Amino acid sequence: MESTPICRCRVLYLGSAVPQQSKDGLQGIQEPLRELYPEKGATGGGIDSWLSVWSNGILLENVDESGSRVARFFPISSLHYCAAVRRVSVEGAPRFLPLDSPFARAPAPRRPPLFAAVLRRTQGIKVLECHAFICRREAAANALIDGYLFEGSFGTAQRILMIFGTDVEHNLEEHIG
């Protein structure tokens, strides 16, 4: 059993929302991210958390108001789609575009990169939910994607920006701080 995650990033967890209009690909995350992402940009909302990619799923960890550790595990089998994106305005409308899009390339302090994962609930009503995470840097958002590519989940992870080349066989935490 492995004891080190493929990737571990500090993130702000914005929560989750159920996609209503489309459930597939980049189009499927637009509506939930517009609902979850603060209109004025990332200026402090969210839950300070650690997000880890393991060979068998995603682990979200944080501390609640009473100081107790809270952990949620999402099995790899529940992953429907994930992407590293940035909020931009396209013709006056908010859109979440891949980090390598010409519209999303310019870093903006109030528009940091996001990691979005559409996961199927494993308990209760088994609907798809889009979970949103603000990352400090593009490298962190892309490292989360690289973790899935390394594990062979090519059908579920969208490769956005090749920053590590093909060298993703080691723990990526050193790249993201």
Supply the CATH number for residue 144's domain: 2.30.29.30
pLDDT on residue 160: 32
Instruction: Give domain status of residue 1, yes or no.
Output: no
Look at residue 44 in the predicted model and tell me its pLDDT: 61
Among 1, 131, 118, 114, smallest CA distance to 60 is for: 131
Number of domains present in the structure of the chain: 1
CA distance 49 to 47: 6
Q: 18 lies in a domain?
A: yes
Q: Is residue 176 part of a domain?
A: no
117 within a domain of the structure (yes/no): yes
Predicted local distance difference test score (pLDDT) of residue 117: 94
Long-range Cβ contacts of 21-28 (<8 Å, 24+ apart): 23/80, 23/118, 23/128, 24/81, 25/81, 25/158, 26/83, 26/85, 26/96, 26/97, 26/98, 26/158, 28/81, 28/118, 28/128, 28/130
Mean pLDDT in each 10-residue stretch from start to end of the chain (177 residues)?
Answer: 82 94 86 87 78 92 93 93 91 89 77 93 92 92 77 42 29 36
Residue 73 lies in a domain: yes
Whether 174 maps to a domain, the answer reads: no
85 belongs to a structural domain: yes
Strand partners, 51: 9, 60
In a domain, 34, yes or no: yes
Q: Which domain holds residue 47?
A: 7-166
Q: Which residue has the tokens 């059908």?
A: 155
